[in-house]
Amino acid sequence: REPARAMSFQTALTDDASWKLEIMETPGMFQIIDVHQSWTGPCKAIQSTFKKIFFEHGDKPIKFFTADASKIDAAKDYVGSCEPVFLFYKDGKKKEVRGVDAPTIVKMIYDGLGVDPNAAAAE
């Protein structure tokens, strides 16, 4: 069963309905969305970092998503971007990071979860 979980740690948001259901109508959940172009696919450079956080903190209200910018109205501002964009939502409030800035992305995730990264590293 574990390999199935490993393969599905990110959920693909494929249309406006899935975006609305998963992102806008799920209070209390901290959501990380890898917004990409149809020709690039999700960012591979950050995958191992996301998987590590997912498995270490899967007991917390966190969910990882991918979204093709051209298929979701809420992501249309990112169509044509050559760099990946990561959106962070909690209770409808959005923050974003452009580019693969792993230290900033990890800090935003820990902050969103209310986790002390120093304590997490010591575990």
Residue 95 lies in a domain: no
Residue 91 lies in a domain: no
Range(s) of the domain holding residue 69: 1-25+54-85
As to burial, measured by CB atoms within 10 angstroms (0-12 exposed, 13-18 middle, 19+ buried), residue 105 is buried
Q: What is the pLDDT of residues 55-93, one digit of tens each?
A: 999 899 999 999 999 999 999 999 988 899 999 999 889
Confidence of residue 43 (pLDDT cuts 50, 70, 90): very high
Residue 102 lies in a domain: no
Residue 36 lies in a domain: no
The 10 Å CB-count burial string (b at 16+, else e) for 81-98 is beebbbbbbbeeeeeebe
